[in-house]
Amino acid sequence: MSAPRFDGIAVGATLATLDADAGYGIVENAALAWKDGGIAYLGPHDPALESAAAEVRRFDGGVIAPGLVDCHTHLVFAGDRAAEFEHRLQGASYEEIARAGGGILSTVRAVREAGEDALLAESLPRAKALIADGATTLEIKSGYGLDFDNERKMLRVARRIGEELGVGIRTTYLAAHALPPEFAGNADGYIDAAIEWLPRLHAEGLVDAVDAFCEGIGFSPAQTLHMFEAARALDLPVKLHADQLSDLGGAALAAGFDGLSADHIEHTSEDGVRAMAERGTVAVLLPGAFHVLRETKLPPLDLLRAHGVPMAVATDCNPGTSPLQSLRQAMQLACTHFKLTPEESLRGATTDAAKALGLRDRGVLRVGMRADFVHWRIRRPAELCYWLGGNLADGVFAGGKRIA
């Protein structure tokens, strides 16, 4: 008997392939087959195809869409910052909390006190929650260690999450996140130290990209430039927390290094948007932080559309400003706060999010792409942004293997 043509096939659902410049790419009464982790067939269902598959997954309706890609998270951390949430509701600003020793530095203290296994144990439930609601690829940043050993610990935990859960992981080095207490008053010295750690961590296979927090309460454009030059010397791509609280030209700075993405960008100018368009830098919208911080300054959405800048959507899952454990909820917030259409939001969490990570093998259903897909208990794709909460994912598959 000859070997099966496919490792598996899914039948009985409508496909939303997103494999077009516009529209959901709907295929009714469809079949999706995979082999060696990649999509090997996509199209109308023919019962004869089932006999060529080692495994047949039958669905009674619903929609199969590309697996969600969460392209901006800080989900590896210890402790929580619920008290800060209360303080903000009582009138304290994000900057006031940070300057008083709270914010990022409070999480740094908790991460430094946690061993690697304990940090993994705290972080796994958050990753599982994201996967359960449709994520098949997660970007995870460091940035709560702020010294060599603890940045390394965070990146190792991120890799271990991928190994344990079967989800795709991209790791981002974000040592330039905040100034640790041992470098108080010496930001340039800290950037020099963080640059020194980077080649060592990269040599261990722990770094896929480099990020920085370019902001008045973070690091200056000159310091960010210094970090990005070190990344370029190692042929590592960059992304940037840009123009969240003020316009320091961060989006244009990231674009000048052919950055994968500029993230937040509430205060980005038209010059910054134009630079992103010219260099192919994706705008990553983070409506969770916008929502939790009760911001009112919207990203330059009309300019992004006018200049053709792809708009990704991500959770920004973190303990302080976006304790959001559902990318689908981020998609809904992007619709309600930023007035994205459901199609824009779904593309933002799949096709454009994959671009924001430099990944060309996922984010769309097409023969030859990774078999990352989700079967949703819905009638039409817009429901992914319509429902608030609920358990809509009936099966989450990464590389053809069910992970939730």
Task: Answer yes or no: is 332 a known binding residue.
Answer: no
Distance CA 264, CA 322 (A): 12
Does the annotation flag 377 for ligand binding? no
Q: Is 134 annotated as a binding residue?
A: no
Torsion angle of C-alpha atoms 193, 194, 200, 204, degrees rounded to 10:
160
The annotation status of 244 as a binding-site residue, yes or no, is yes
Which residue has 């409508």 as its token pair? 14
CA distance 45 to 12: 8
What whole-number distance in Å separates Cα of residue 7 and Cα of residue 312? 31
Closest Cα partner for 194 from 242, 254, 156, 151? 151
Q: How far is CA 5 from CA 37, 39, 43, 285, 400, in A?
A: 13, 12, 16, 41, 14
**Number of Cβ atoms within 10 Å of the Cβ of 3:** 6
Annotated binding residue 45: no
Is residue 126 part of an annotated ligand binding site?
Answer: no
318 is in an annotated binding site: yes
Is 171 within any annotated ligand binding site? no
Question: For the purposes of burial, counting CB atoms within 10 Å of the CB of 166, is it exposed (0-12), middle (13-18) or buried (19 or more)?
Answer: middle
Residues in the chain, total: 404
Which residues contact residue 70 at a Cβ distance below 8 angstroms, ignoring those fewer than 6 apart? 130, 135, 137, 138, 139, 314, 315, 317, 327, 349, 353
Give 219's DSSP letter.
B
256 neighbors 285 (Cβ within 8 angstroms): no
Is 329 assigned a ligand-binding role in the annotation? Answer: no
Task: Looking at 51-173, list the stretches that DSSP marks H as alpha helix, in order from N- to C-terminal side.
Answer: 82-89, 94-99, 104-113, 116-132, 148-165
Confirm if 272 and 252 have CB atoms less than 8 A apart. Answer: yes
Q: Is 386 annotated as a binding residue?
A: no
Would you list which residues are annotated within the binding site for N-formimidoyl-L-glutamate? 144, 318, 320
Binding residues for Zn(2+): 72, 74, 241, 316
Binding-site positions for Fe(3+) read 72, 74, 241, 316
* Binding-site residue positions: 72, 74, 81, 144, 177, 241, 244, 316, 318, 320-321
Return binding residues for 4-imidazolone-5-propanoate. 81, 144, 177, 244, 321
